[in-house]
Structure 1
Amino acid sequence: MATNTMVSNDIVSPKNTLENAKIYLHLVGIDGWLIRDYRYSNPVFQSALGRRVKHLTRPVWLWIPADGDPKIIAHSVDTGRFPSGSPELTSYTSRDQMITELKTIIGKAKSIAMEYSPLYELPRVGRVDAGTIELIRSLGPKVVSSGDVIQYSLERWSAEQLQSHFFAIQALDNIVTQTFKYVGENIRWALTEHDIAEYIRGRFERAGLEFDDGPVVAFNEHSSDPHYDPQPGESAVIRREGWLLIDIWGRKKSESPDNRNISADITWTAKLGEPPNEKHKEVFTAVINARDAAFELLENRVLQGDNPQGWEVDSAARDVIDKAGYGKNFVHRLGHSLGHEVHSNGVNLDNWETRDTRTVINGVGVTIEPGIYLPEFGVRSEIDVYLGEDGPEITGNCQNEIIQIETG
């Protein structure tokens, strides 16, 4: 989908999601955005409404035209679920009635954005099944991807959301420091990775954070698994000598179900016992250089008014790791969209798992987290970046040296 530079680089306005979507659709020349959900298979529907509507049991449609008022089409058994203040509701009972109502709201629209990704290039966008796409095409319009519409209308942070992210990232920075200290002070007790994960979860509660899963606490060869999940009875004992990777994420606890506080996500590594050897230093340095190269490209391009696409930022980091001789050991994308969900629906920094051609627009947050994974240990350094009015900002602490944990 074409991207209008002026629109894409606006910091989030006080307007609501539906109004922002209409602004974007109008300026890029798309006639409307049709969001279809069935039994919560498309989370974009609830996000666009700005609230969770419970117990929807039939297909439901949200139509956001470039010109005109948004409308909802829902089965008659579900219409009573929508609270006051929702867009205008139209009900149906049969499939034929549903299609008739779709024809009516679509009208003469020639192009419609939906949660569709050509050739499944962006799985995070591709929420709608092929049959639904066929149905809408049969009514006349061309269906295009809603990826850029989602990012502009849903993924840019408000001022309040930015502050919620700062709350979370500061708490995470404190917790990771406390955790490394705790490991060193309690090494004699032969604590396991799972024990340390439980300690971290306890710190989250005291810090006022909520989390859906995690954290990653990975010792020695387990740090070679990017998403290692320590289980009780199966996790390794953290010894006096070794390598430790900790990846933690969470967000400020919500005051209501409709609250959209922004997550934070960081990864740090440490050496226990003897100082890191030359291999540790070499791999760590390559990862840090890759991280910094990615941020430098992002910062330079944004300040020049030429925001890069997600794949370009990934390539900047991947080139550094390739030149260091570890390209085959960098097995995942560089970073992900950061929102209420820790892995959100905006642009990913990815030229590996996908080729994300969405622009990293102002007002969004992303992680930068290159990693190198060898059989004996893995290194990842993860920072969070917000694209504000003055350019990209690293919102938390930035690891530049291997943490040394004294174990006596």
Structure 2
Amino acid sequence: MESPRFDASVYARRLSAAAAATAEAGLTGLVISPGYDLRYLIGSRADTFERLTALVLPASGDPTVVVPRLELASFRGSFLSELGVAVRDWVDGDNPYELVSAALGGAPAATAVTDSMPALHVLPLVGVLGVLPVLATDVLRGLRMVKEECEVDALRKAGSAIDRVHARVPEFLVPGRTEADVAADIAEAIVAEGHSEVSFIIVGSGPHGADPHHRYSDRELQVGDIVVVDIGGTYEPGYNSDSTRTYSLGEPSSVVAEQYLLLQRAQRAALDFVRPGVTAEQVDAAARDVLAEAGLGEFFVHRTGHGIGLSVHEEPYIVAGNDLPLAPGMAFSIEPGIYFPGQWGARIEDIVVVTEDGALAVNNRPHELIVVPVS
């Protein structure tokens, strides 16, 4: 079954923009192996390793896909002909790197390669191109960071789908059940609510909630636990959801309730600060300053957010030191957290898209600490 993609015109615009960016960078071309960059540029989910598959995109001239003959089926039904992409297949015993060089006009060729290309292919390319490639990340960053309308629509649908999962989470949080039990229910719900697959699940109960990257374990939920639930899935054509809410099994203590309100205020401050022209680090500071002024700064141990799209984590990163000005169409998380080692933790996360005058949140579940009644 063919994987869903956008209309061919979307990929045609992207190829044209990527070629222009390549020329502006003073490069001969891009060599893009399977991964998110290849999916972004032509919608392909081809997946090979030891045999080279790559899109060769010259700064001027027609693009070419170099692909093993036994992998040609992975491009069947694709938009290659509509996009004017030539196909150069090869068989074992041929030198596919020479095909790449020919598609770029011959050596020497100053090229950029995707950051997911293994050394298994980078090193032979150096031999035929005559120069060490640079990373294509710098060339494609500006394109992938700013989402088109169709991408924003996909992110909104993904956000609504994960909101529906969070609406069901309280029924899964029953004292005596394990984090793994809850994660299994969530995984089933992620697919049932419209995602094509599960990207990740974090169920951090009690002291496990103080580990931002905890997944789930055999720990049994207990009355009084604070539970961090951070979940996401892939929504076709390949865009990701990512949302965190924090739950309390029974009424929280006054200390927990007070500190959670400060976290809620910090997340709101960052959301309200998002607009074109402000920098990523200013948004990070908007959340961080609220917690620091309340004496909780040392318990906020990660960046405020990360970009999202075809990959769960991509640019822009909302972090101190990133002076990138925000622009309409950029999409990223706002997710401050507080973590008290050995005790409990909390995080609130929404995905937002920068608009002409502010931000659109694609997640709309309540931000309050969600109290789950227990008997």
In the alignment, which residue of structure 1 is the partner of 2:112? 113
Q: For 1:372, which of 334, 338, 341 is the aligned residue?
A: 338
Residue 165 of structure 1: aligned partner: 155
CA distance in 2 between partners of 1:136 and 1:398 (Å):
50
CA distance in 2 between partners of 1:173 and 1:263 (Å): 13
In structure 2, distance between residues paired with 1:24 and 1:225: 40
Cα deviations by residue, 1:221-263 (Å, 9 ceiling, x for unpaired): 11112122223xx222x233232222221244x4xxxx33x22
Q: 2:61 aligns with which of 61, 65, 68?
A: 68
Partner of 1:31: 27
* Residue 60 (structure 2) pairs with residue 90 (structure 1): no
Structure 2 residue aligned with 1:386: 353
Are the equivalent residues in 1 in contact too, given 2:64–2:86 (CA < 8 A)? yes
Alignment of 1:304-319 (within 5 A): 306=277, 308=279, 310-319=280-289
Contact preservation (8 Å) 1:133, 1:143: no
Q: Does 1:58 align with 2:51?
A: yes
Does 2:249 correspond to 1:272? yes
**Residues of 2 paired with 1:406 and 1:78: CA distance?**
54
Q: In the alignment, which residue of structure 2 is the partner of 1:247?
A: 230
Give secondary structure in 1 for the equivalent of 2:242: strand
Deviation at 1:148, TM superposition (A): 4.2
Matches within 5 A, 1:2-41: 15-26=12-23, 28-37=24-33
Match of 1:198 in 2: 184
SS at 2:318 equivalent: coil
Q: Would the aligned equivalents of 1:35 and 1:45 in 2 still touch at CA under 8 Å?
A: no
The alpha carbon displacement at 1:16 in A equals 3.9
Please tell me whether the aligned partners of residues 386 and 395 of structure 1 are also in contact (alpha carbons under 8 angstroms): yes
Query: Is 1:348 paired with 2:348?
Result: no
SS in 2 for 1:328: helix
Q: Which residues of structure 2 form unaligned runs of 5+?
A: 1-8
Residue aligning to 1:294: 270
TM-score normalised by structure 1 residue count: 0.73
Residue correspondences, number: 360
Structure 1 residue aligned with 2:164, among 146, 161, 174?
A: 174
AA matched with 1:64 = L
Question: How far did residue 131 of structure 1 move?
Answer: 8.3
Shift in CA distance, 95/32, structure 1 to aligned 2, threshold 3 Å: farther
In the TM superposition, residue 397 of structure 1 has moved relative to its aligned partner by: 1.8
TM-score (norm: length of structure 2)? 0.79
Aligned partner of residue 196 in structure 1, secondary structure: helix
Q: Determine the C-alpha separation between the residues in 2 that align with 1:135 and 1:155.
A: 28
Q: 1:61 Cα deviation (Å)?
A: 3.3
- Per the alignment, do residues 317 and 90 of structure 1 end up closer, same or farther by CA in structure 2, a change over 3 Å counting? same
Deviation at 1:58, TM superposition (A): 1.4
What is the distance in 2 between the residues matched to 1:197 and 1:211? Answer: 14
CA distance, structure 2, for counterparts of residue 99 and residue 203 of structure 1: 45
The equivalences for 1:89-168 within 5 A come to: 89-90=87-88, 97-107=95-105, 112-115=111-114, 125=115, 127=117, 129=119, 132=122, 136=126, 139=129, 143-154=133-144, 156-168=146-158
CA contact (8 A) 1:297 1:313 kept: yes
Q: Report the CA distance between 1:29 and its aligned residue.
A: 4.0
- SS of 2:226's equivalent in the other structure is strand
Contact 1:193–1:219 (CA under 8 A) maintained in structure 2: yes
Whether the aligned pair in 2 keeps the contact of 1:147 and 1:346 (CA below 8 Å) is no
Counterpart of 1:90, as a letter, is: R
Q: CA deviation at 1:313?
A: 3.4
> Would you say the 8 A contact 1:220–1:244 is kept in 2?
yes
- Asked whether the 8 Å contact 1:114–1:145 carries over to 2, the reply is yes
Q: Deviations over 1:318-362 (max 9, x none)?
A: 344344333333232322221134x143322234xxx65666443
Contact 2:29/2:104 (<8 A) preserved: no
Distance 2:272 2:265 in 1: 10
Question: Is the contact made by 1:337 and 1:345 (CA closer than 8 Å) also made in structure 2?
Answer: yes
